[in-house]
Amino acid sequence: MANLKDLRVRITSVKSTRKITSAMKMVAASKLRRAQSAAEAARPYAERMDRMVGSLAANLPQGVQGPALLSGNGNDLVHLVVLITSDRGLCGGFNSSAVRNAKQFVNEKLATGKEVRILCVGRKGRDQLKREYGQFIIDTYEGLGRKGMRYSEAIEVAGRITTLFEEGKFDVATLIYNRFKSAISQVPTRHQMIPFESGDAPEETGDPAMKAMYEMEPSDEEILAKLLPRNLATQVFRALLESFASEQGARMTAMDNATRNAGDMLNALTLRYNRTRQANITKELIEIISGAEAL
Amino acid sequence: MDINKVQFDLVSPERLLVSDLYDMVVAPGEEGDFGVLPGHSPMIANLRPGVIDIYENGVITDRLFVAGGFAEVTAERLTVLAEEAIPVHEISADDAKARLKAGKQAYEEADSDAARVEAEAQIAIAEAMMAAISKADGAGH
């Protein structure tokens, strides 16, 4: 029967889909473990770097403007959004939620008469923003972290940001990415990079020890000149790692759901297939019996 | 916490490498090596490529090569943020030579000031690596 054949084809195709999604889930799970430990291993550096810049900032004499990377260039007109997403899809709401957050941010800024520039890290973010905000996108980075996230990749992105800042292309830089909370929960996060804002609790109310006068070797300016670009790279690196771990977590959850749905669908289809088959047999039997009776 | 020891943390962007208590740690500051004992006055310093020596009971127990970075010193602790850190005994001479060659080549090919500065930094790191090994050999390691 044509109907039976259709069902058989359907079942085979759902089965192979299930195989693919469950393989993707497994791959994501193993990548997640690695990405998660990488993200955790990078935390001490980022935290200490943050603290060091914080104490340097607190250490600056009153009324002295630090380097532009630290305290900004005094303007607040052009905003740069660095949006970190993934290159590949099939990871649930991972990219959409980061993009939604970015769109909201951009609209807020545009509504208050600011200008916006966007730097995309990851192809999916660009694809989703292209139609509405295409004119703001400066550039897109693709293929980062293909062989595990490297610090050198973060340096490259951070270097680009620094150059743009020095050329006066923007005044304030904000990083938008998915922070890794757990395998099933990723939080879209905004983090202001330039001017410097401590990622942790506000520094102003910190204990007085934080304000202890540090001796500087060779000098405030020279240390800050080296430390600030590093700090930028570290923040980007941390965001990249968090985003990468989040991506794997999101993909794992999405693929787990897809596998389960495929399983449900398979059960329903198999049931229908068997019912149809039995109905056919019964029908044929009736035909034979009524044929025999007619004789 | 033992007040006669100094807490030494060495972190690279990828991970936390060392976190322990030691008698004294000598770090390669940009303006000369400095030793950190407990109760050191607060200081933040740039590091040049060089070797961090860890002292226990007056002798060097561990030597770590860092390719530059930053050090934050407080009375209780020394935190070193290194871009790259390797125990000296794990550096291979071939590796260092290859890096030196790559650095020199990059310098030759550099077409901008920024690239030249970058290449110079690479050469400095490679040379410091070579120096670290030869010193280790001399000390009978």
Q: What is the ipTM of this complex?
A: 0.77
User: What's the pTM?
Assistant: 0.84
The pLDDT, as a whole number, for residue B25 is 92
pLDDT tens figures, B74-124: 888 899 998 888 888 888 888 888 888 888 888 888 788 778 888 888 888
The pLDDT, as a whole number, for residue B136 is 63
* A185-194/A172-182 β-pairing: antiparallel
The closest of A168, A182, A163, A151 to A72, measured between CA atoms, is A168
**Residues carrying CATH 3.40.1380.10, chain A:** 43-251
The closest of A192, A243, A248, A236 to A46, measured between CA atoms, is A236
Report the Cα A10 to chain-centroid distance in Å: 35
A196: left (phi over 0), alpha (psi -120 to 50) or beta: beta
**What is the CB neighbour count within 10 angstroms for residue A286?**
10
pLDDT tens figures, B23-38: 999 999 988 899 999 9
Residue type, B37: L
The pLDDT, as a whole number, for residue A11 is 95
Give long-range contacts, CB 8 A cutoff, 24+ apart: A56-59. A56/A214, A56/A220, A56/A223, A56/A224, A56/A227, A56/B44, A57/A196, A57/A203, A58/A203, A58/A206, A58/A210, A58/A211, A59/A211, A59/A213, A59/A214, A59/A220
- As a whole number of angstroms, the distance between CA A61 and CA A57 comes to 9
Nearest to B13 among A45, A52, A222 (CB): A45
- Under 8 Å between Cβ of A87 and A122: yes
Taking an 8 Å cut-off on Cβ atoms, the answer to whether B29 and A217 are in contact is: yes
Residues in B lying within 8 Å of A, measured between beta carbons: 9, 11-16, 29-31, 34, 41-46, 70, 72, 74, 79, 81, 83
- As a whole number of angstroms, the distance between CA A270 and CA A276 comes to 10
CATH class of A2-23+254-294: mainly alpha
**Residues carrying CATH 1.10.287.80, chain A:** 2-23+254-294
- As a whole number of angstroms, the distance between CA A120 and CA A128 comes to 11
Instruction: Name every chain B residue with its beta carbon within 8 A of the beta carbon of A222.
Output: 30, 46
- As a whole number of angstroms, the distance between CA A200 and CA B58 comes to 39
The closest of B9, B67, B6, B112 to A51, measured between CA atoms, is B9
Please tell me the distance in Å from B130's CA to the nearest CA on chain A: 23
Nearest to B81 among A42, A49, A237 (CB): A49
The pLDDT, as a whole number, for residue A2 is 55
Taking an 8 Å cut-off on Cβ atoms, the answer to whether A52 and B42 are in contact is: no
- For A220, which residue in chain B has the nearest alpha carbon? B44
- Under 8 Å between Cβ of A241 and A39: yes
Phi, psi of A242 (to 5 degrees): -60, -45
Instruction: Name every chain A residue with its beta carbon within 8 A of the beta carbon of B13.
Output: 42, 45, 151, 154, 233-234, 237
Is A43-251 a CATH 3.60.15.10 domain?
no
- Which tokens in the block code for residue B84? 């790259």
Establish whether A120 is a catalytic residue: no
Chosen for mutation from B9, B10, B11, B30 (greatest number of chain A CBs closer than 10 Å) is B11
pLDDT under 70: residue ranges of chain A: 1-2, 61-66, 198-212
Half-sphere exposure of residue A53, counting CA atoms within 13 Å on the CB side? 30
Average pLDDT of every residue of chain B: 85
Catalytic residue among A32, A91, A119, A240: A91
Predicted confidence (pLDDT) at residue B2 exceeds the cutoff of 80: no
Taking an 8 Å cut-off on Cβ atoms, the answer to whether A215 and B81 are in contact is: no
